[in-house]
């Protein structure tokens, strides 16, 4: 396979699949890279026990004219392309145009006991179950915020888990107001009704959140704050996720401008998804959390624009804007309760990789100083968990990125032909 593509797409979730298919349909030589061994992203992640949704199967079937570069992790940006790591070694891939479809990750917030074995993100446990991790017969508590909780519960039940309850932090009045708005999005309403029917019998409690998890070798009990008081619940697994945060590390290394509508940045794009860097486009969650429909539409738009077919991209704008409005509706109605920001105590671990507590971070005014003194954010996750949590808590903004984006072999790093200056990432 060539090491240069007319269009290179980073990320093989719904947005990346749509971008790659569209660009290839215009005759471009297209490469689609993803760190996972199969395309699909989190939404369409391969399930070892169940068939993929029809939309996913159709999308996979349209990759015949696309070079799918699976198990390719982007490590760094060089002047001539992206340095990636594969199971076989390092590789430099160059491009004419680059489409960033890097998706999002869960927002995890610290509370006492959140590092116990058996405590995961809601989407994280969903992914584990799809990959064959045994959940059958396990008593599972799901908590956090947003529709992902219902989707995770649905997957876990299909894999045999006993879902004891879904605990949504948004108040009942707000969630009910959101549900009434679904009449303007009939397809979304049908999807929501289908989920609730499949989850019949599972308690869905509003205005409730996990305050503390207890256990020794694993989680055994959780304390849940409800509108009527604290409830203790025995369980085997706890899955907690507070929505999604865009993955912007690659965009930042490329020098793309960011927008901040809160503590977490997303890539700044114009109406046709062009970033501030020439020849680089961003589609889907990288440009702001919007959901599956937005991802597929913007992926197609980016594929059109990257191959010089702007008229076709313009035709998709009304539909894209409508779906973006739904994303904004979600964001407003599932805004996080400020009490969640106060759950962590001084003794609570913030950086799991380097065993740094919240108390150890007191007195630092920026992430760089804290990192140099405590190693917070220098572990395997490269600060994706602790850095994002601290930004949400208002401690340090995540305003920069440094290579490597993911942990890499020394041999891969030795192959870098362009070494970034420290000044390029000052403040990260």
The domain ranges of the chain are 4-104+245-331, 110-241
Count the helix, strand and coil residues of the chain and give each as a percent rounded to the nearest 5. 35, 25, 40
Residue 325: Cβ within 10 Å count: 14
- pLDDT of 325-380, one tens digit each? 999 999 999 999 999 999 999 999 999 999 999 999 988 888 888 888 899 988 88
Can you tell me the distance from the alpha carbon of 46 to that of 131, in angstroms, rounded to the nearest whole number? 7
Whether the CB-CB separation of 237 and 125 falls below 8 Å is answered with yes
CA-only gyration radius of the chain, Å: 21
Q: For residue 318, give the H/E element and its range.
A: helix 317-333
Q: Which of 275, 289, 322, 283 has the alpha carbon at shortest distance from 302?
A: 283
pLDDT of residue 425: 42
- State mean pLDDT over 31-49: 95
Cis peptide leading into residue 404 (ω within 30°)? yes
Query: Which of these ranges, 110-119, 168-177, 264-273, 355-364, has the smallest mean pLDDT?
Result: 355-364
pLDDT exceeds cutoff 50 at 232: yes
Whether the CB-CB separation of 343 and 211 falls below 8 Å is answered with yes
pLDDT exceeds cutoff 80 at 400: no
- What is the per-residue DSSP string for 142-160? EEESSTHHHHHHHHHHHTT
b/e per residue, 158-169, with b = 16+ CB within 10 A? ebebbbbbbbbb
Residue 67: Cβ within 10 Å count: 17
Whether the CB-CB separation of 30 and 6 falls below 8 Å is answered with yes
- pLDDT of 127-159, one tens digit each? 999 999 999 999 999 999 999 999 999 999 999
Q: Candidates 3.50.50.60, 3.30.565.10, 3.40.50.720, 3.40.50.1980; correct CATH number of 110-241?
A: 3.50.50.60
pLDDT of residue 427: 38
DSSP state letter for 117: T
pLDDT exceeds cutoff 70 at 420: no
pLDDT of residue 422: 45
pLDDT exceeds cutoff 50 at 428: no
pLDDT exceeds cutoff 60 at 245: yes
pLDDT of residue 206: 98
Residue 343: Cβ within 10 Å count: 18
Whether the CB-CB separation of 398 and 386 falls below 8 Å is answered with no
> Could you tell me which residues come within 8 angstroms of residue 378 by beta carbon, excluding any fewer than 6 positions away?
353, 354, 371
pLDDT of residue 408: 86
pLDDT exceeds cutoff 90 at 404: no
pLDDT band at 424 (very low <50, low <70, confident <90, very high): very low
Can you tell me the distance from the alpha carbon of 311 to that of 51, in angstroms, rounded to the nearest whole number? 36
Give the β-pairing of 229-234 and 73-78. unpaired
Q: For residue 180, give the H/E element and its range.
A: helix 172-181
Can you tell me the distance from the alpha carbon of 250 to that of 75, in angstroms, rounded to the nearest whole number? 9
pLDDT of residue 2: 63
Q: Which of 2, 63, 7 has the alpha carbon at shortest distance from 38?
A: 63
pTM of the model: 0.94
Q: Candidates 3.30.70.600, 2.60.120.200, 3.50.50.60, 1.10.3720.10; correct CATH number of 4-104+245-331?
A: 3.50.50.60
pLDDT of residue 423: 46
Whether the domain at 4-104+245-331 and the domain at 110-241 fall into the same CATH topology: yes
Whether the CB-CB separation of 292 and 320 falls below 8 Å is answered with no
């Amino acid at each position: 396979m060539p090491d240069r593509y007319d269009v290179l797409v980073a990320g093989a979730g719904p947005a990346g699949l749509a971008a790659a298919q569209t660009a290839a349909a215009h005759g471009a030589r297209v490469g689609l890279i993803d760190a996972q061994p199969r395309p699909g992203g989190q939404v369409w992640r391969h399930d070892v026990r169940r068939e993929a949704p029809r939309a996913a199967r159709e999308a996979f079937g349209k990759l015949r004219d696309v070079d799918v570069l699976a198990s390719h992790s982007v490590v760094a940006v060089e002047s001539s392309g992206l340095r990636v790591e594969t199971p076989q070694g390092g590789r430099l891939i160059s491009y004419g145009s680059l489409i960033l479809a890097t998706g999002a990750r869960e927002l995890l917030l610290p509370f006492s006991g959140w590092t116990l074995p058996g405590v995961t993100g809601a989407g994280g446990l969903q992914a584990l179950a799809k990959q064959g991790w045994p959940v059958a017969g396990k008593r599972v508590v799901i908590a956090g915020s947003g529709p992902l909780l219902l989707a995770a519960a649905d997957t876990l039940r299909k894999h045999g888990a006993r879902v004891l309850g879904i605990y949504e932090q948004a108040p009942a009045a707000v969630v009910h107001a959101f549900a009434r708005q679904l009449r303007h999005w009939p397809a979304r309403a049908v999807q929501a009704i289908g989920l609730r029917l499949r989850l019949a019998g599972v308690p869905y409690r509003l205005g409730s959140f996990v305050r503390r998890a207890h256990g020794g070798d694993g989680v055994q009990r959780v304390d849940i704050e409800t509108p009527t008081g604290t409830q203790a619940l025995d369980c085997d697994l706890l899955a907690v996720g507070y929505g999604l945060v865009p993955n912007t590390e690659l965009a930042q290394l490329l020098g793309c401008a960011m927008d901040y509508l809160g503590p977490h940045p997303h890539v700044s794009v114009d109406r046709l998804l062009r970033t501030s860097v020439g020849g680089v486009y961003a589609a889907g969650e990288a440009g702001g959390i919007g959901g599956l429909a937005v991802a597929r539409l913007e992926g197609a738009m980016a594929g059109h624009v990257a191959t010089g077919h702007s008229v076709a991209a313009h035709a998709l704008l009304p539909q894209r804007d409508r779906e973006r409005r739904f994303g904004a509706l979600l964001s407003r109605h599932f805004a996080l309760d400020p009490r969640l920001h106060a759950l962590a105590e001084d003794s609570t671990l913030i950086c799991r990789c380097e065993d740094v507590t919240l108390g150890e971070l007191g007195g630092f005014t920026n992430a760089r100083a804290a990192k140099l003194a405590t190693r917070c954010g220098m572990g395997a996750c490269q600060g994706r968990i602790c850095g994002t949590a601290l930004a949400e808590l208002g401690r340090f903004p995540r305003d920069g990125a440094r290579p490597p984006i993911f942990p890499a072999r020394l041999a891969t790093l030795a192959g870098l032909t362009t070494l970034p200056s420290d000044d390029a990432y000052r403040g990260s």
